Amino acid sequence: AQSVTQLGSHVSVSEGALVLLRCNYSSSVPPYLFWYVQYPNQGLQLLLKYTSAATLVKGINGFEAEFKKSETSFHLTKPSAHMSDAAEYFCAVSVAQGSYIPTFGRGTSLIVHP
Amino acid sequence: ETGVTQTPRHLVMGMTNKKSLKCEQHLGHNAMYWYKQSAKKPLELMFVYNFKEQTENNSVPSRFSPECPNSSHLFLHLHTLQPEDSALYLCASSQEQSPYGYTFGSGTRLTVV
């Protein structure tokens, strides 16, 4: 079975600073990896996905993530945080054998200070 | 209208009430899902429907009853709920058997009193 671990339930950054949200996965077969964002009182929105093409994936709102097989990681980054980036971020992994049903991490709350 | 639409956005119900949550998707997807999101808990998958057939039921109590009349609509019928059932209920859809991710609705915030 696959799993994901998001390191840090809360990450706090200043506006304009680098954003780094960590995600490590476990899977016995090649994984598909996702980052979702959830704003207050909203559903989850797909930020970006890795589906075995380029290892550096660019998503919406200036976010990107890099798939590193040797480190079993898929960390999310953004060069410069904006106040509007404050939200909950979820990493997820899915595999073909599981009908692609994703396993979600517990989420990381991003706090952006002015 | 596009995307995944959930109604109502907020619902307060007593433990003896019967209510239903509705989800509608306009994306041409053929798989739909119900998730429960509680504070300080991971996202919980409740039910999966592929081509209107239920393919997964993750040990959900019988007081939650899903219905999928067609590939575009999904309902969650609620009866005799408990206060611990208060949560955000999210509907999602996807192309079945595809790794392209899910599209989620905005959710129904349910409070059981």
Q: What is the pLDDT of residue B1?
A: 54
Q: Which amino acid is at B21?
A: L
Helix, strand, coil shares of chain B, percent, nearest 5, are 5, 55, 40
- The verdict on a CB contact (< 8 Å) between B101 and A42 is no
Tell me if B69 sits within 8 A of B84, measured CB to CB: no
Query: Is the omega angle on the peptide bond into residue B8 within 30 degrees of 0, that is, cis?
Result: yes
Q: What is the pLDDT of residue B52?
A: 76
Residue with tokens 């798989």: B31
Question: From the first residue on, what is the mean pLDDT of each consecutive set of 10 residues in chain B (113 residues)?
Answer: 89 93 95 92 91 81 94 95 96 87 95 95
Strand partners, B109: B10, B88
- The verdict on a CB contact (< 8 Å) between A100 and B42 is no
pLDDT tens by residue, B51-62: 878 877 878 999
pLDDT tens by residue, A3-58: 999 999 999 999 999 999 999 999 999 999 999 999 998 999 999 999 987 899 99
What is the DSSP track for A34-101?
Answer: EEEEE-TTS-EEEEEEE-SS-SEEE-GGG-EEEEETTTTEEEEEESS--GGG-EEEEEEEE-GGGTT-
Chain B positions in Cβ-Cβ contact with residue A34 (cut-off 8 Å): 101
- The verdict on a CB contact (< 8 Å) between A44 and B48 is no
- The verdict on a CB contact (< 8 Å) between A46 and B101 is yes
Report residue A41: phi and psi, to 5°: 60, 30
Chain A positions in Cβ-Cβ contact with residue B43 (cut-off 8 Å): 90, 104
Alpha-carbon span B88 to B44, nearest angstrom = 11
Tell me if A76 sits within 8 A of A68, measured CB to CB: no
